[in-house]
Chain A
């Protein structure tokens, strides 16, 4: 028999990927009966593409609040195994019913009370918020339990509020700071990602018709019409930024991921990896939460952006073949440090336009030409 449940803790002390799961129809939502730290650790079954041996393979991406499906491996229902994740369009505020003095009482789970109720994310902003609560140490219902939840939201990853790359870093007297181009949510404002959460928005389709779309639990980058979503929005903004600085960028191929063809992985800190199979808009994209990304487009074009410094080391030889033209724009100084000979074979004309002095220094300067013109 399969059961559904909600992950409430993933900080497995053994670091083998176990999670605490509150299982529907088995565990009550009442935390003063079963608090999150009371729940047993459940194993998470991984696909056969994972070796699960000696550190090889991959880890799961379960979060506090993820709805999972699994089975119990024992009759006593103490050992739960997570077999998979349940994705859907979560409703805004789940309803639970509890008995109070013999009467049924309906409770709507909201962002403000979700820590007090099971089947939701139990994490809090401040450590002392756990004191005296069922999730804290030595709770009233289990005084002998000497441990409780001990991590606040600060400990966990979060997506940035916004990203603002600085495209001209030549005039900064001081080193550019991380906070200059990534704005994080202040700790005081942090709320646990509220699950479940319903978000419906409208967009215009290719024919200009207004369409309605609900945000599903599937990656926000897997569907069309989800441009309004915050993280998608900042990615688009960054592309516009780039076109302001590169003349030809406005003509770059566009992206139009369409459900269910974009196989995207979007993580809780904001990293994004897309293998987009949308017909005629096929892309591969890898973006860091800072805005650094590379992307391959449908026609084979590629974009790369690094929002801060870039280092490339090639220990052997390097060959660069360019079938067309090369355009390099450097806002600041440029240095070419060559340990051996420097040779430029130019089939056409060579022009060096300098707005300031040009200095050529060498023991012997040889100039060979049929005609050599000075100050011509």
Chain B
């Protein structure tokens, strides 16, 4: 490998990086630097996965498996930095705080193959954040109280402090949830199960989707407990596009992050996986659903109804990100039948079927049946009502999980919304990408118009990321799965203009 000094001033490759170390160490402390043996590393990051995992492929002539007695209990330290074209610091590589610098736990060895001459063998080491083991081994049977975000943070700290983890390595983003009066008698769950619970039930009364929290680990940073609203505000400043690049651009030419010309802002590959699936949306409760709740003390059943247009899109407040639904909501959901067109293109239209007169239930699903007892923990004679006179959620008394509002239905709608409009893109390796962020992707269109004339803007939410590192080439790629969570205009009033001239203002 060339030294960093030698690289200074020379041309960059897309997604160029330097692997500082890949060191395998077994429980007895025997260590081996294996960077030269690794042909490929992949890291997997997702807003649905609590811990970063990955795998690396080794081409091994030393028989490390035997040398280090590899059985799935080893640790592996990986340090990787992206080249960022700066002249600061140690020259052209990301600062240390922007590097991948993590210790993982090897948990599996697979695909072991020996060459015909039996000189080398290849295999795949699977690794995962070592906290994964703790989170699935330690059980919690205790009384917890406060907001669900505080409950989770407390247990997260307790778990990791006990195991001598540095406090600074615990989290890098933590949203506070509401309300603050939750009590949970944790029923001998593992920490992972507690995360499952808190993630689903934590909410904020002013969040667009109410219970929109996600918990995940990031490759470049730490763990996050973040609301959907915060994700929408977390916009990666760099814009990406598919225009061709001159791959020999030097350091004196365009900045690597420059729009439409920068080396590392190019979309190398993209795939529009799905634009809509209203059948799935109907069964998933993306736009409408209801939940029946039986109060076994008051002996009453409550039907909680969720309608996305009324409950979310029409109620967005000023500080919410502007959002428009991905399908027509608020208009009659009708099926049309046309006559055959005549030679002049005229045809008659008749309404074939008129399913939902109010149009709000373009798709509908029923939520789970729940039981409910407002004063499950209370010593008071009267059941505590979780709502005040105006129907707002109150913050009185210690409360069990809430089922008498539509927060679970909203969360269900949110998670299924992320499955509706999905794209996959590949971009060069860079250190500022993480799931749970908004990314601007300028994908080619047949007839692109100005942004003001387009139904959808370029912003997508990153839901999954696979970091694909090739140490022997000093380059890497990031494969992203992104979701469109909102159009830029209201589809019911938007009039597409067939502007066939390419607009250059946006370039």
Contacts and interface: CB of A to CB of B under 8 A. Distances in A.
Partners in one complex: yes
A375 interface: no
Interface in A124-157: 141-142, 144-145, 147
B188 A28 contact: yes
Given A13-B381, A78-B401, A38 B197 contact: no
A147 B375 CA distance: 14
A27 B185 contact: yes
B371 A73 contact: yes
Nearest to A16: B297
B188 A14 contact: no
B379 A37 contact: yes
Contact of A77 (B187, B371, B375, B379): B187
A149 to B, nearest CB: 10
Contacts of A77: 187
A134 to B, nearest CB: 9
A14 B375 contact: yes
Given A14-B383, A145-B398, A33 B187 contact: no
A57 to B, nearest CB: 14
B143 interface: yes
A33 B186 CA distance: 10
A142 B188 contact: no
A74 interface: yes
A40 B400 contact: yes
A79 interface: yes
A248 interface: no
Contacts of B383: 14
Contacts of B380: 13
Given A28-B188, A34-B185, A78-B184, A13 B375 contact: yes
Contacts of B370: 74
Contacts of A76: 184, 187, 197, 401
Contact of B141 (A33, A43, A79, A144): A33
Interface in B378-393: 378-381, 383
Contacts of B188: 25-28
A62 interface: no
Contacts of A14: 297, 375, 381, 383
Nearest to A41: B376
Best-buried of B142, B145, B197 by chain A (most CB within 10 Å)? B142
Contact of B379 (A141, A144, A147): A147
B377 interface: yes
Nearest to A43: B296
A40 B377 contact: yes
Contacts of B378: 13
Nearest to A37: B379
B373 interface: yes
Contacts of A35: 143
Interface in A4-46: 13-14, 16, 23, 25-28, 30, 33-35, 37-41, 43
Interface string A56-98: 0000000000000000011011110000000000000000000
Contacts of B185: 27, 34, 38-40, 78
B379 to A, nearest CB: 4
B184 to A, nearest CB: 7
Contacts of B371: 73-74, 79
A27 B376 contact: no
A142 B145 contact: yes
A39 B187 CA distance: 11
B142 A34 contact: yes
A33 B139 CA distance: 13
A41 B143 contact: no
A35 B141 CA distance: 11
Interface in B175-207: 183-185, 187-188, 197
Nearest to A74: B371
Given A38-B185, A78-B400, A79-B371, A33 B376 contact: no
Contacts of B296: 43
B142 A28 contact: yes
B119 to A, nearest CB: 46
B373 A41 contact: yes
Nearest to B398: A145
Nearest to B181: A144
Contacts of A145: 145, 398
Contacts of B398: 145
Contacts of A141: 142-143
Contacts of B141: 26-28, 30, 33-34
Contacts of A38: 143, 183, 185, 377
Interface in A213-240: none
Most-contacted residue by chain A among B187, B370, B380 (CB, 10 A): B187
Nearest to A149: B379
A16 to B, nearest CB: 6
Interface in A151-181: none
A235 to B, nearest CB: 39
B304 to A, nearest CB: 16
B297 A13 contact: no
Nearest to B296: A43
A166 B443 CA distance: 102
Contact of A33 (B143, B145, B373, B381): B143
A4 B106 CA distance: 39
B143 to A, nearest CB: 4
B187 A41 contact: no
B88 to A, nearest CB: 47
A34 B188 CA distance: 11
B99 to A, nearest CB: 35
- Considering residues B377, B378, B383, which has the most beta carbons from chain A within 10 angstroms of its beta carbon? B377
A33 B375 contact: no
A16 B375 CA distance: 12
A73 B185 CA distance: 15
A74 B377 CA distance: 16
B145 A144 contact: yes
B187 A79 contact: no
B297 A27 contact: no
Interface string A97-110: 00000000000000
Nearest to B379: A147
Nearest to B403: A74
B142 A41 contact: no
B382 to A, nearest CB: 8
Interface in B457-473: none
Nearest to B188: A26
A78 B376 CA distance: 8
Given A76-B187, A78-B187, A145-B398, 10 more contacts: A14-B375, A27-B187, A33-B142, A33-B143, A38-B185, A43-B373, A78-B185, A79-B371, A142-B143, A145-B145
14 contacts: A13-B380, A16-B297, A27-B188, A33-B142, A34-B185, A37-B379, A38-B143, A40-B373, A41-B375, A41-B376, A78-B376, A79-B371, A141-B142, A141-B143
Interface of B: 141-143, 145, 183-185, 187-188, 197, 296-297, 370-371, 373, 375-381, 383, 398, 400-401
Nearest 3 CB-CB pairings of A with B: A77-B187, A28-B141, A33-B142
